[in-house]
Structure 1
Amino acid sequence: MEDKKIQKLIKRLFDIVVSLIVLILFLPIWIIVAILIRTTSTGPVFFLQERPGLNKKIFKVYKFRTMRPGSEKMVKGQEVMKDDDRITSIGKFLRRSKIDEIPQVMNVLKGEMSLVGPRPERIASLADYTDVISKRLNMNPGMTGLAQVSGNVYLSLEDRYMFDVYYVEHYSLCLDLKIILRTVGVVLFGEDRYVNKCLVDINQGFAKEATAQEENISK
C-alpha cells in the first residue's frame, strides 16, 4: 500500500513536469493551430465539455475544436470515426496526430487529469455504469490510457471499460511508461496498427483475481 502511495506521488510530479514542458515548448504550435482553426471554420478555438473525473467529480475538459459547432450533441455512445463528416478539414489532422488533446495539459496541471489514466467520458455515460465499471473513476482520467493504445475505437465499449478497470487495479509506474511509449507509436502509425496487440492480457488478469477471491472465500 505504501509503495502505491509513493508511485502515485511520483506520477503526480511527473505529470506536472511534463505538462509544463509541453505547455512551454508547444506554445508556437498552439498559436498556429488556433489560427488554422479560426480560418478554416466558424466557432471557438477550444472545445470545452463537462466530464466526470476522480470519484465522479465534474470538471471541464479542454481540447482544440475539431468538429463543427453543435456536433457534440450526438447519440450517447456514438463514436467519432476517421471519416465522420462532422469533423472539420483541419480537425482530421488534429485528431490523427492527437494534437487536439494537447490543451488537456492544463487539466493535468490543475490536478483534474493525469497523463495516463482512463479517458474521461460524457456525464450521461454514468447512468450505465455498474459497480465494476465505476472502478475506472477511482483514479484521475488520463490524456492517454491502456484502452487507447490497445485498439481504442476498434474495441467494443465493454472492452474499453475492462481495460480501464484493469489499469486502475494493476496500476504501476512501469505500466504508465509502457502506455506512454505505445502512445508515441499510436501517434506515428495510427490506432489500427495496434488492433489485437494489447499491452496486457486483461482476461488473464481478471481470471487470477477471481481465483484469489475464491481461495479467500474458501478459507
Structure 2
Amino acid sequence: MVAEQRILINPQNIKSRKGYHFVKRTLDIIFSSVGLVCLSPLMAVIAYKIKKEDKGPVFYKQVRVGKNGHHFEMYKFRSMVTNADQLLEQLKDQNEVGGAMFKMKHDPRITRIGHFIREHSLDELPQLVNVLKGNMSLVGPRPPLPSEVEQYTAYDRQRLYVKPGCTGLWQATERNDVGFDEMVKLDLDYIKRADIWLDMWIIFKTIVVIFKPNSSY
C-alpha cells in the first residue's frame, strides 16, 4: 500500500505572493462592507429570532487562533444555549469527528433557531466584522480553538500560515463528511494553490450551500 502524500508548504512562497495578498485584502474589505450593509435586514431578523427564543445574548464571542498563532475574538450568531461551553465537557466522549476538533450531529446544546442558521451557515454572518477588522479573510482555513491548536502536530500547524476564513475549501465541499485529517489536507491544498479564481469559486460554492445545505451541523 502506497503511503498518502503529505502536503508541505514553504512559508516563504506564501510571503512572496504580494500581489495576490493585496488583491485578496482589497476584495475582503469591499465584500465584507457591502455584505454587512446588504445583509443587515436578514441579520436583524436572525437577531430578533435568537432573542425571542430564550432572551439570551444574540451574539457569541469566542477566542480563536489566527495567522501565525495570533489570538482574536471571533463573532457569530449564538446558535447554542447560553451555558454551552460549560456543557461541552459532558459531551466530549460523544465527539463524531476524529482529531483536534469537536463535532456532534445531534448536539443537545443547539437551539431551535440555531439548527436553522447552522444548516444554512447563517450563524457565521457576523464574521464579516472580523474580515473588515483584518482578523480573518473571506476565504481561508477554519479558525481553530486554542485547545485544538494545543493538540496540533507540526504538520497541522501549517494551517496557521494564513488568515482563517469565513468559508474555505472544507466548508464549501466536504464539511462534516470528513474527519480532522481530511480537513487539514483540504486546507493545505487550498493554501498551496490559492489564487483569486479559487477564492471566487469557493465563495460561489458557499452561496450555493446557503440555499442547498451540505452536511453542516
TM-score band by shorter chain is 0.7 to 0.9
- Provide the residue aligned with 1:177 in structure 2: 200
CA contact (8 A) 1:147 1:160 kept: yes
Aligned 1:1-150 pairs, distance under 5 A: 4-73=17-86, 74=88, 75=92, 77-81=101-105, 83-150=106-173
- Provide the residue aligned with 1:206 in structure 2: none
50-59 or 37-46, which deviates more: 37-46
- Provide the residue aligned with 2:9 in structure 1: none
Please state whether the residue corresponding to 2:60 is helix, strand or coil: strand
- Distance, in Å, in 2 between the alignment partners of 1:108 and 1:125 is 22
- Distance, in Å, in 2 between the alignment partners of 1:171 and 1:132 is 18
CA contact (8 A) 1:67 1:88 kept: yes
Name the count of aligned residue pairs.
Answer: 192
Which protein is bigger by CA-based radius of gyration? Answer: 1
- Distance, in Å, in 1 between the alignment partners of 2:180 and 2:52 is 35
- Distance, in Å, in 2 between the alignment partners of 1:30 and 1:92 is 16
**Residue 165 (1) aligns with residue 188 (2):** yes
TM-score by length of 2: 0.83
CA 1:80–1:46: 2 relative to 1, 3 Å: farther
- Distance, in Å, in 2 between the alignment partners of 1:101 and 1:70 is 19
Once the 2 structures are TM-superposed, how far is the Cα of residue 3 of structure 1 from its aligned partner? 7.4
- Provide the residue aligned with 1:153 in structure 2: 176
Once the 2 structures are TM-superposed, how far is the Cα of residue 30 of structure 1 from its aligned partner? 2.0
Once the 2 structures are TM-superposed, how far is the Cα of residue 84 of structure 1 from its aligned partner? 2.4
Any idea what the Cα deviations from partners look like across 1:182-212, whole Å, max 9, x if unmatched?
112222222149xxxxxxxxxxxxxxxxxxx
1-10 or 36-45, which deviates more: 1-10
CA contact (8 A) 2:80 2:110 kept: yes
Taking only the aligned residue pairs, the percentage that are identical comes to: 35
Query: Which of the pair has the greater relative contact order for Cα pairs under 8 Å at 6+ separation?
Result: 2
- Distance, in Å, in 2 between the alignment partners of 1:28 and 1:53 is 29
Once the 2 structures are TM-superposed, how far is the Cα of residue 175 of structure 1 from its aligned partner? 1.3
Query: Which sections of structure 1, spanning at least 5 residues, go unmatched?
Result: 194-219
- Distance, in Å, in 1 between the alignment partners of 2:67 and 2:16 is 21
CA contact (8 A) 1:116 1:144 kept: yes
Query: Which sections of structure 2, spanning at least 5 residues, go unmatched?
Result: 1-12, 93-99
CA contact (8 A) 2:169 2:186 kept: yes
Query: Match of 1:140, as an amino acid?
Result: K
- Distance, in Å, in 2 between the alignment partners of 1:48 and 1:3 is 33
